[in-house]
Structure 1
Amino acid sequence: MTAMDLGPTSELADAAAGLYGEPDVPSTVRSVLDYALTLTGGDGVAVMLRQGGRPAVLSASSPAAERADRAQLSCAEGPGLQAMSERDAVVVDDVDDDPRWRGWSRPVRELGFRSVLSLSLGTTRSSVGALSVYSAKVGAFDGERAELGRCYAQHASVALASARHTSGLRRAMDERHAIGQAQGVLMERHGIDAAQAFALLRSSARDHGVKLSERAEQIIASRPADVG
């Protein structure tokens, strides 16, 4: 295998290692954008994810890339939405000559973009979003770049899912810790056991119309007299 053959493979491996090494969701998203630009040679990139069952623009590398992705949502058409629907890569060689999304093509052309590579984020069974790379050049994403993008999107999908899962676990652990602390406060103040303290905490959260963990944090931070 020649050095030229090793190039894309090595870059992809470096990108994968960098993505999995990020500590949280915002950092992972930032890296997803940065590595996508490096691997594809694009001029802008945006990430669209399903939120509450509807697609929304999560982040972008530039205001122009964000507006290009938002144009898909306002026009209800575009390669990112199609990539999400078909769970595959969608290539636009020239937005001026592509007849598929006339309503979306004009605003994207006005932003200075001529070609697009949209990649599905998710699994082979479901799509949670799309990564769209925009270029000012016509035909910027040939077959090799598109295939590299497909491989990268798989790594990006796993990294994003892992970061979101880890973030959820960390948040759950923090909430459980706060609830335990609040139980301890109530046990000491009222001379009750753990079960009674949890029941009091739950009742207090219901009375205040807040989540259990939120009321727990309020009790921890409250003055000794504010326990009810």
Structure 2
Amino acid sequence: MADERLWQRDKAEFGSGTDASAGPLSERFVELTRLLLAASTPAQVLEQVIGAAYRVVPGADLVSITLRAPDGTFHTPVSTGEVALELDEVQYRAGTGPCVDAAADGSPGHVRSDDLSDEERWPDFSQAAVRHGFTAILSTVLVPEAKPPRLPGALNIYSKSPGAFDADAQDIALLLATHGSLALAGTSAVSRAELESSHLRRAVESRDVIGQAKGILMQRRGLSADEAFDLLRRTSQDLNVKLAELAATLATRHSELDKP
């Protein structure tokens, strides 16, 4: 309980001008800095940034990174949950949304919506997000390249609670994005193609194991493919576990479920 009170106090004091240098949040940033300095590829940096955002930004339930290619297209190389890929993709197809707007030229630095159920700026994205249970979002600009044209990306933080992100959350997200941008600039050059290759490999592996889990549910529950996937997705959200991780557990340990 004492550690929890310190943690809550540190979050409340962060950005308020109070000295919280010895608090848990400051310790998180020290640890993040150490991990980023040890990272040797952009992929490792991005994984550390989204993991830190998920842990330290109050109200964060889902985190992703948006990157932009020289041809102007967007993609999501890393996220803390499969649903982020779908919600980010809705924005990429529409050409608008907090992720896209934060990563656009002339970005204000961050884009925020406190209640997506009443959001008029991005109707397609807002409806999709609310349908998945996410009602607030904060996107902060991220600069993943040290050399021109320095196309900006975005750190995207989703919440299931309306009004979850306040000025302190914005400050923390900005610091995370700044840490990430500096670390990316310091890593050895790894092309976007390599990032996409890594992401594609994980996506293929995830697709295979999700297919196995769907097959198990279809056989044992008499479900259709869509019904099996919906069950996996809902359970993933309820347990706050990545869909691929849940599917892997079911696929590798399904025999244990038969035991009385």
| TM, length-normalised to structure 2 | 0.58
Q: Given the superposition, is the C-alpha separation of residues 70 and 164 from structure 1 closer, same or farther in structure 2, using an over 3 Å criterion?
A: farther
* Structure 1 contact 121–127 (Cα < 8 Å) conserved: no
- 1:21: how far off? 1.4
* Structure 1 contact 47–129 (Cα < 8 Å) conserved: yes
- 1:13: how far off? 2.7
* Structure 1 contact 87–127 (Cα < 8 Å) conserved: no
Q: Deviations over 1:39-73 (max 9, x none)?
A: 21411111111123322222211111111111110
- 1:30: how far off? 1.4
- 1:108: how far off? 1.2
Q: 1:102 aligns with which of 120, 123, 129?
A: 123
* Structure 2 contact 63–155 (Cα < 8 Å) conserved: yes
Alignment of 1:123-202 (within 5 A): 127-165=151-189, 167=190
Q: Does 1:113 align with 2:130?
A: no
- 1:91: how far off? 1.3
- 1:164: how far off? 4.8
Q: Which AA in structure 2 matches 1:52?
A: P
- 1:87: how far off? 4.8
Q: 1:48 aligns with which of 66, 81, 100?
A: 66
Segment of structure 1 superposing worse, 145-154 or 78-87: 78-87
* Structure 1 contact 120–127 (Cα < 8 Å) conserved: no
Q: What are the ranges of 5 or more consecutive residues in structure 2 without an aligned counterpart?
A: 1-5, 11-19, 195-260
In 2, Cα distance between equivalents of 1:143 and 1:40? 11
In 1, Cα distance between equivalents of 2:68 and 2:153? 6
Partner of 1:62: 81
Higher Cα Rg, which structure: 1
Aligned length: 166
In 2, Cα distance between equivalents of 1:53 and 1:9? 38
Partner of 2:222: none
In 2, Cα distance between equivalents of 1:66 and 1:127? 20
In 2, Cα distance between equivalents of 1:10 and 1:48? 27
* Structure 1 contact 16–156 (Cα < 8 Å) conserved: no
In 2, Cα distance between equivalents of 1:126 and 1:151? 19
Q: Deviations over 1:111-170 (max 9, x none)?
A: 2111111010028x95421110111111111110111111111011111232253x47xx
Report the RMSD for the aligned CA atoms in angstroms: 2.4
Partner of 1:122: 143
Structure with more of its chain in strand, by fraction: 1
Q: Given the superposition, is the C-alpha separation of residues 87 and 21 from structure 1 closer, same or farther in structure 2, using an over 3 Å criterion?
A: farther
Q: Does 1:21 align with 2:28?
A: no
Q: 1:89 aligns with which of 99, 103, 110?
A: 110
- 1:35: how far off? 0.8
Q: Does 1:80 align with 2:82?
A: no
Percentage identity across paired residues of the two chains? 25
Partner of 1:39: 56
Partner of 1:185: none
| TM, length-normalised to structure 1 | 0.66
In 2, Cα distance between equivalents of 1:83 and 1:159? 20
Partner of 2:236: none
Q: Which AA in structure 2 matches 1:16?
A: T
